[in-house]
Amino acid sequence: MTLPAPFKAIIFDMDGLLVDSEIVWFEAETATFAGHGVTLDPEVRNRFTGLRNDEFIDGLIQHYGLASERLSMQREVLDRMQALIPEKVQPKPGAAELIEYIKANQIPTAIASSSPERMIDTVVESHGWADVFRIRCSAEGLPRGKPAPDVYLLTAETLGIAPQHCLALEDSANGAKAAIAAGMTCYVVPDLSHSRVSDFEGVVEELFDSLHTVLYRLRGKI
């Protein structure tokens, strides 16, 4: 295994970090809210990015006064997104190379996502990553979603590796806060479709422009 100390495992967030899915989620959400007479404002949406999926959608529903349609809208967004994933959700730059590095060096790895399990499984299977990401943990059903550490603590426990020996990779401030609260080191590749670099001030210091650059760091090249 080739990882710099003290790391013994890499834990990936999924949406916006491993795959370029935020714009596709926005498409699914926009279509759903339009069907209920609402034009979704990207600035409003960005306030909730990184939260657990149900909390994210609930935040938008509450903002637009659609609480009476909560459950049907949650299902509709998820059904739309699941249909779009195989066609439109692509790996982020550097994801394939980092995954190959993990495979070649037999590095323990997992996904810790705010998305429901069925979304995680659909992404992993559509990209042929099932042999790499055998451990996939969702915040769905946990007492708290990100920025609370619950999903990262669950993932570390499932891996059997102490949090302080796990490197978390994130794209959002809420996700980074969750990883740090779990006691992990967090490297962030900001997804600028919904984040600003300034969002991470006082949260995390290790910011990268792509997963390519994260891989260079792991190889000791920067």
Asked whether the bond before 190 is cis by omega within 30 degrees of 0, the reply is no
Write the CB contacts of 69 (distance below 8 Å, at least 6 apart in sequence): 36, 61
CA gap 152, 148 in Å, rounded: 9
191 as an active site residue: the answer is: no
CB atoms within 10 A of CB 71: 10
Answer for the pair 108, 8: CB distance below 8 angstroms, yes or no.
Answer: yes
Handedness of CA 182, 146, 92, 202 (dihedral sign): negative
Answer for the pair 206, 188: CB distance below 8 angstroms, yes or no.
Answer: yes
Amino acid in position 220? G
13 as an active site residue: the answer is: yes
**Hey, which residues are catalytic here?**
13, 15
